[in-house]
Amino acid sequence: MPSPTIVRAVFWDFGGVVLSSPFDAFNTYEKNHLVPADFIRSVNTHNPDSNAWALLERNDIGPDEFDTLFATESEALGHRIPGADILALLSGSVRPEMVIALDAVIAAGYVTACLTNNVVSDHTATQRRPDVADVMTKFDHVVESSKIGVRKPEPRFYEIACELAGVAPTECVFLDDLGINLKPARAMGMQTIKVGTPRAALDELALILGISLSD
């Protein structure tokens, strides 16, 4: 029996993994505006490769176009929501336990990369938030959909991440909060961890790496 591949890199999603999930903010917005729970997420499942959200994350459209296009798409599904409202909900809080774990992974000698679907306006937001900027500087590599023109779950996104990190997919562990983003990574050979509660995800990562990820 061949020996298991040695893990050399740990890839991290940002929003929903290192940052708290924007889905909580979506649900609060929905409640306050008398919109059914999880409606906003459902809008993004329609035409997922070409809808307003996909176009924005690939930087094919700007925030102003997204504002109008998302409103049109959401209205067609029953509730008109301006895209600008959605963009205002995206900033989460840094999860301290994830930063501690990231530091431990770095200290153990693993290559690290942040794999994030984002929009151009996120760059300005990062500059305004020192806590986010500090975390981003820890990664060896940052792969942003708005800069490379492809997004998770497109396979090319993961290929680019591996090329930048100098590793094979089979040498990677990837943490993301969305199963749809993990599926192609797993098909390429990565070990994947779906992040629900941070503690459970980090326990799984610690088991894979064989190191402690807490203080």
Task: For residue 176, give the CATH number of its domain.
Answer: 3.40.50.1000
Mean pLDDT lowest for which of 78-82, 121-125, 131-135, 188-192? 121-125
- For residue range 146-193, list pLDDT tens digits in order: 999 999 999 999 999 999 999 999 999 999 999 999 999 999 999 999
With a CB cutoff of 8 Å and minimum separation 6, the contacts of 153 are 180, 181, 183, 184, 185
DSSP state of 114: E
User: The tokens 């500059």 sit on which residue?
Assistant: 127
**Domain of 44, in residue numbers:** 22-87
- For residue range 79-101, list pLDDT tens digits in order: 999 999 998 888 788 999 999 99
Residue 214 lies inside a defined structural domain of this protein: no
Report the number of distinct structural domains present in the chain. Answer: 2
Distances, alpha carbon 118 to alpha carbons 66, 114, 138, 197, 209, in Å = 13, 11, 18, 22, 28
Structural contact between residues 22 and 83, judged by C-beta atoms closer than 8 angstroms: no
Residue 215 lies inside a defined structural domain of this protein: no
